Structure 1
């Protein structure tokens, strides 16, 4: 069963239970339990976005408190990226071994300890301690992210309707909330170490409560050994690798806008910082709104047509930002760019998790491929900007979108999972 299918034809019990097959066994869970898990996954996504944005919004204060130059602070930020990338390949086997509930809680715990270490590093002025905290935070974010995507895909599959875009919209809303909280704390003069510590404790409290509502993990039969995760095999599966390219293309499209859209509008259209921030706000609002309604589009037209249509929207939006004759056209471009970048990541997660028994390792592989976009994007655009200017450098995104268009068919539901709703779409 895939995202976008209706409940028609699903095997159900007499008390409203929805049946699903997990690791070869019939795993029947009551619909109210699945609905509670849906709420819990939404909380996990939202808190993840909140925790991420709450410290990102205070980076100037962290840099100044640690007395770092911009170049030194860039190296400090790489600590988090290094932690995230190093942990991603291990996240799938970890979810496979202990389940999404424990993995999300473990990841959140790592994020909490990491953020507390960053806060302490800021308090005592220790960049090495802050760097270690960011590395630990990155490792926690990876396992948290993979596990909640696996759980979200399982909930989506059981309820028979596309939910991943809304879960990712929850992350976007969490980032907006975190950014607003950071801005408010900065305006009120709240020390950044206090804010980081409070956010860390809030995150672990909220997630520890939410994961209690995650789906129960089927108990193994007496004497049954745990199946192998098969992560190495997943890295050799053509479909999984192609889905990773889909996610990479759309993550690059999103990441370049996150890092460079504001500066491109300010420098390219010779406007003030506030106008550049508005352009970025338009992009984020469009992406969040599209994720809120993306499930309806997926249910009606299917994954592949929606991915291709959003890629085209992103191309049009990017073109308007780069070549628009005036600022209003660039704002329209930001709107279309955000809409076009919105669904690639969540749809890729759904496609990677089509088969429940292979979901964890495939999601980790796809995430590992996709997240390289967030590492490669900023320096690549920065290098090109030195050569051709900031606006023209954004055209590198067209290459990523072309890849997305070419490999979008890999997200087509697997035949055995998609027969009910026209898997050929």
Structure 2
């Protein structure tokens, strides 16, 4: 056999399957728009179901938003009847029949909202699972076509992470976060419309709290994002280490590597704990800050609303409904901000999956050699081989005669496996 090659591989000797560290799992995609557009192509065959999800989310949200306004009408009816009796107005009484009709209408709206919400989640779960199924099928087919240098140049834990963790992240986002995002946007628009219909002045007071909240939490978000990225990187390293140690358990036991492996695990686990603790602590400050600013807005709305009620500008039921809307207003905004970060991480995960799908496939080797009968002799003639710029083998010459037994020995990284891979024409 004659060989003289210098391939530009992706790894180096000693960094075979399972070696090295996990690739960093960043929170941001390198090409957000391109990756998102490509991810949407997997959803395109299911666009009819997605339209149904969108419509169901709108209907569910609308029925839920109208509820406080109708409840306000019931409270106004109750208050006016009770106030009339208290003032001694002739014929004044609480119209319990009308209040009962309003409450029945309210119960019906909430029931319809729940029904549409169920339909939305049911359809979206099928869309998410079908999409993830297609992604897994594509990745599985791709892995069967990748050359040996791809697996030698990357840890097994990294490839497994792309096949499992990253695809699961995409599925989870499609099934939960996407529907929440649609619902949150519709809720924000609907609440603003309902608040404007009650009182433009109170709406202005309520909306002013939004830029204040953004201004307050923006520096917190920047700090937490750095720690979340570090947390993902450390998690990837830990997964890679666990995969290496447990798949190579026999080798670990044979060479007495247990203490070093345990020490490495403890070190990475401690780093993951610190990064996770910092990320959770800093991000945990966001909600208290949001609640504090929201409560200040709530107090101001209550004071101004009370003045407007005394001036007969709005009814007491409307002010109660407005207070409910104002407390609900910050929730979808917070959800939208959180989901935006989740989508960013999901697109980053999708980008990692697409990078795997775009890897160069193994090409079928074209050869004019036609051996009708092999005599068993193996010959390496002036073979050079290296990974990238680092040369491993230079001017290697070996002749093995038929029936001869040859032992290949040497330290780790000397090129023993590489020599066999060359012999098997993996390169």
- TM-score, normalised with respect to structure 1: 0.28
Which protein is bigger by CA-based radius of gyration? 2
Larger RCO: 1 or 2 (CA < 8 Å, sep 6+) = 2
Greater share of helix = 1
